[in-house]
Structure 1
Amino acid sequence: MLDLSFEPPKPKVISGATGAWELVIGMEIHAQVSSQAKLFSGASTRFGAEPNANVAFVDAAMPGMLPVVNEFCIEQAVRTGLGLKAQINLRSAFDRKNYFYPDLPQGYQISQLYHPLVGEGEVLVEMGAGIARLVRIERIHVEQDAGKSIHDMDPNMSFVDLNRTGVALMEIVSRPDIRGPEEAAAYVTKLRQILRYLGTCDGNMQNGNLRADVNVSVCRPGQYEKYQETQDFDHLGTRCEIKNMNSMRFIQAAIDYEARRQIAILEDGGSVVQETRLYDPDKGETRSMRSKEEAHDYRYFPCPDLLPLEIEQAWVDEIAASLPELPDAKKARFMADFGLTDYDASVLTADVANAAYFEAVAAQAGDGKLAANWVINELFGRLKKEGHDITDSPVSSAQLAGIIALIKAGDISGKIAKDLFEIVYTEGGDPAQIVEARGLKQVTDAGAIEKAVDEIIAANPAQVEKAKQNPKLAGWFVGQVMKATGGKANPAAVNQIVSAKLGL
């Protein structure tokens, strides 16, 4: 287990003209289920297809077409609930959320309001080394996505693409436990990480596969504590919902702007109107989209086309037994097994592919700390610089492990290792064969090194006297020997022989 100190949420405090204000934030994360078919049809979910290419008759609301539940999508939602330590409801049901929009051909969205598939859970959010907070999950319900309206192709027309219509979504609803913009971004980051480890959502925000609706309100200090005692939401102030956020940076900017907007209204004697808003990243502000509807405005009622979902505990147990090692457990194991720092373990476990790559290198090289250093500093640094990720790394885990093995064996120095890494990164090849073919093997013969040291000392008597007066100048001789041997001399041996020759 991770050694964590749990702290209560620290609210971001904003100073207004009439005193201090605190932020209260709840989030609804819409995560697209990783499935090749939609929730109620066999149509493809492939991203980037031609408009209206991935549409079945039921998606287009053709008369007489009935939805059929995709069992795999339900399994993925159950898997997500288990990964978030949530209650799995063995009986759930679908409801119709009725509203009109051109990209919703049925005139309603099939969702789960009254009886969701997944109940209360939690997400552990780290806010610094050893400091963690819990964000409670209220529920996860399964629903179908709507289509997409396109307004910028022709100034006189709007177009509708139904490719996303019917794609399975998991709406993950948090309690109002988040108290600031940075904590909100950390929560989304952690949730996305868990989903990727589980394989239930790819977390791609650019493609709209993970979107956040952010509920923001402000209250005076002490009001949040009253809410915790009474569970009365009136203590938290009137909230506004910022829809469809798909960037960590924009989430933070939108929360900060919206909080200050509400404070300005309240301090001017006005009242915040509960509404849905959109964030304009170009202007850095939120703007009104529509007044906030309540559940009764959507005329929710049980979907008559779908029977209630009834699942067996044995099936849930089977899914639970197949869960992968999740980020917190993996991080704790990396720290325990490889002696890694909290920071290094966090970097390496941030992404499931990164963690798998590191573990393969560590296993093959037999040195976790050295593997972590090379993976983080050399490989990740180079990949980031060139805009790549680990999935298209030109250096395989076996190749990097081979470089590390040569270092451990004393065949190459750290400097030569970096030169070798550059060769492997740009040209490929087996590290050991490259070292042999290019004569990069480290000089460890004490006689050869001693000869080089003697030559440098004999040629620089004045520098010898200075070094005897100031031992720190011995490093100059080490550098000259390394230069004379093309960087191939064993640095430790060179240091030892130089010190002995100079009588230091």
Structure 2
Amino acid sequence: NYFYPDLPTGYQISQLFYPIVGEGVVEVEAEDGSFFNVGIERLHLEQDAGKLIHDLSPTESFVDLNRAGTALMEIVSRPDIRSPEEAVAYVKKIRTILMYLGTCDGDMEKGNLRADVNVSVCRPGQYEKFKATGDFSHLGTRCEIKNVNSFRFISQAINYEARRQIEILEDGGKIDQETRLYDPTAGETRSMRSKEEAMDYRYFPDPDLLPLELEQAWIDDIRASLPELPDEKRRRLMSQYGLSQYDAVVLISDQAKADYFEEAAKGRDAKLVSNWVTNEVSARLTADGKEFSENPLPAAHVAQLVELIETNVISSKIAKEVFDHVWNGEGSPAEVVEKHGLKQVTDTGAIEKAVDEIIAANPDKAAAVAEKPQALGWFVGQVMKATGGKANPAAVNDILKAKLGL
């Protein structure tokens, strides 16, 4: 039974005894690069409710029923999450998996992915007893924060709620099991209603729903047609392209980003391509308020830019200038280099001439380099400045060391 105006039927259809997916485990990467497992208790289907809106009027509440009655997939996790950071990492991982599968677009702002965050606190040592025995009495009383719709709000809501519960317990009080909501403006959780137990829901079988029998052959067909999932892709990127775990995890976090990388990395230095994709390209898209799937830059342009660096046509420093021009629509990297005369100076004669002029103009500094070798960096900077940043840095270093006797 359902006694709220956001579901006009007065009851919500849900799966109780026979969820469509049973138990499982999700491997999640923590901020420090380590992995932890979160147990999945069940995944069941139920009807979604509408949306109650309370901030359009000081005296009235509104209800948006566009979503009411549509199918909702609820994933119930085990109490394996110990911090706000782990909670955010877990939801991000679930979101990535669902987006790879194509079962959810992951748009939290529109409410297409939401988190009901259950928070409880316990005394030191009690959680370990729970893990050893499975006895929930070792854990604290939980409060459920409904419909949190951003990673930032998930973290903020957990932090606030944990502090609130600790303060109550330290003052000698007790936690009431209840449903709460998070107010991001005030940065606090507020009580909505006391938490219902199973008996309060008054479950009853829906006589209009027939039993759903899933044939094993159909399940096997689905399993065989599954796309490459994030964990598989991470392991493959590491083995096939020699990427670090960190780089692979950053790439797989967005399917469009991972696909873009693979297209650009064909025949190129994969680590260099990864750096350009995850740093420069991602930063420009973020600055423009675009998703990676809206990237206007062809992967072939990143591949060509990396090729120009690999073949010493341009330096890494000049490459950033080239990228600026390419991003602004001035053509391919090769065309930009030609148009703006940005080819790297590899003619040792030209570099030697610039080095000789700078040494001659700064005899005192040149004499001091023998005692203070780190001063070589100043000369490198002056040569690069004199050549408009186009001199090959390795050649500049070699010539300076030879001329200064290092």
Q: Which residue of 1 aligns with 2:194?
A: 291
Taking the aligned partners of 1:281 and 1:435, their CA distance within structure 2 comes to 48
Work out whether 1:503 is the aligned partner of 2:394. no
SS of structure 1 residue aligned to 2:121: strand
The C-alpha deviation readout for 1:422-463, integer Å capped at 9, x for no partner, is: 101123411112212222212222233333333333444444
Q: Which residue of 2 aligns with 1:101?
A: 4
Work out whether 1:163 is the aligned partner of 2:34. no
SS of structure 1 residue aligned to 2:104: coil
Q: Which residue of 1 aligns with 2:329?
A: 427
Q: How does 1:3-22 map to 2 (within 5 A)?
A: none
Q: Is the 8 A contact 2:7 2:69 kept in 1?
A: no
Higher relative contact order structure (alpha carbons within 8 Å, sequence separation ≥ 6): 1
Aligned residue identity for 1:315: W
369-378 or 471-480, which deviates more: 471-480
* Residue 199 (structure 1) aligned to one of 97, 102, 109: 102
Q: Which residue of 1 aligns with 2:206?
A: 303
* Residue 316 (structure 1) aligned to one of 212, 215, 219: 219
Do the aligned partners of residues 447 and 326 (structure 1) sit closer, same or farther apart at CA in structure 2, a change above 3 Å counting?
same
The share of aligned pairs that are identical, in percent, is 67
Taking the aligned partners of 1:179 and 1:349, their CA distance within structure 2 comes to 24
Taking the aligned partners of 2:32 and 2:171, their CA distance within structure 1 comes to 41
Structure 1 residue 140, shift from structure 2 partner: 0.3
Work out whether 1:244 is the aligned partner of 2:131. no
Work out whether 1:397 is the aligned partner of 2:397. no
Q: Is the 8 A contact 2:39 2:77 kept in 1?
A: yes
Work out whether 1:383 is the aligned partner of 2:285. yes
The C-alpha deviation readout for 1:280-324, integer Å capped at 9, x for no partner, is: 223332222112112222221222222111111121111112222
Q: Is the 8 A contact 1:394 1:426 kept in 2?
A: no
Structure 1 residue 417, shift from structure 2 partner: 1.0
Q: How does 1:302-381 map to 2 (within 5 A)?
A: 302-363=205-266, 366-381=268-283
Do the aligned partners of residues 426 and 229 (structure 1) sit closer, same or farther apart at CA in structure 2, a change above 3 Å counting?
same
SS of structure 2 residue aligned to 1:137: strand
Taking the aligned partners of 1:483 and 1:158, their CA distance within structure 2 comes to 65
477-486 or 221-230, which deviates more: 221-230
Q: Is the 8 A contact 2:52 2:64 kept in 1?
A: yes
Aligned residue identity for 1:193: T
Structure 1 residue 130, shift from structure 2 partner: 4.7
The C-alpha deviation readout for 1:146-202, integer Å capped at 9, x for no partner, is: 122334445555443321112221100011222222222221122112212222112
SS of structure 2 residue aligned to 1:169: strand
Moved >6 Å (runs of 4+): none
Taking the aligned partners of 2:203 and 2:232, their CA distance within structure 1 comes to 40
SS of structure 2 residue aligned to 1:456: helix
Taking the aligned partners of 1:271 and 1:234, their CA distance within structure 2 comes to 14
Do the aligned partners of residues 158 and 129 (structure 1) sit closer, same or farther apart at CA in structure 2, a change above 3 Å counting?
closer
Number of residue pairs the alignment of both structures matches: 406
Structure 1 residue 421, shift from structure 2 partner: 0.6
Work out whether 1:273 is the aligned partner of 2:273. no
Q: Which residue of 2 aligns with 1:12?
A: none
Taking the aligned partners of 2:405 and 2:170, their CA distance within structure 1 comes to 77
Q: Which residue of 1 aligns with 2:81?
A: 178
Do the aligned partners of residues 107 and 399 (structure 1) sit closer, same or farther apart at CA in structure 2, a change above 3 Å counting?
same
SS of structure 1 residue aligned to 2:379: helix
Q: Is the 8 A contact 1:482 1:488 kept in 2?
A: yes
* Residue 457 (structure 1) aligned to one of 337, 342, 359: 359
Q: Which has more strand, going by share of residues?
A: 1
- What 5-or-longer segments of structure 2 have no aligned partner? none
Aligned residue identity for 1:366: R
Taking the aligned partners of 1:466 and 1:256, their CA distance within structure 2 comes to 57
Q: Which residue of 1 aligns with 2:389?
A: 487
Q: Which residue of 1 aligns with 2:379?
A: 477
Taking the aligned partners of 1:184 and 1:100, their CA distance within structure 2 comes to 30
Taking the aligned partners of 1:487 and 1:228, their CA distance within structure 2 comes to 60
Do the aligned partners of residues 132 and 415 (structure 1) sit closer, same or farther apart at CA in structure 2, a change above 3 Å counting?
closer
Structure 1 residue 386, shift from structure 2 partner: 4.1
Do the aligned partners of residues 158 and 487 (structure 1) sit closer, same or farther apart at CA in structure 2, a change above 3 Å counting?
closer
Question: TM-score scaled to structure 2, two decimals?
Answer: 0.91
Taking the aligned partners of 1:265 and 1:474, their CA distance within structure 2 comes to 63
Do the aligned partners of residues 469 and 231 (structure 1) sit closer, same or farther apart at CA in structure 2, a change above 3 Å counting?
closer
Structure 1 residue 341, shift from structure 2 partner: 2.6
Taking the aligned partners of 1:224 and 1:462, their CA distance within structure 2 comes to 68
Taking the aligned partners of 1:480 and 1:157, their CA distance within structure 2 comes to 69
Taking the aligned partners of 2:268 and 2:80, their CA distance within structure 1 comes to 43
Q: Which residue of 1 aligns with 2:347?
A: 445
373-382 or 354-363, which deviates more: 373-382
RMSD: 2.3
Q: Which has more helix, going by share of residues?
A: 2
Taking the aligned partners of 2:98 and 2:373, their CA distance within structure 1 comes to 56
Q: Is the 8 A contact 1:395 1:428 kept in 2?
A: no
Question: TM-score scaled to structure 1, two decimals?
Answer: 0.75
Q: Which residue of 1 aligns with 2:122?
A: 219
Taking the aligned partners of 1:269 and 1:154, their CA distance within structure 2 comes to 39
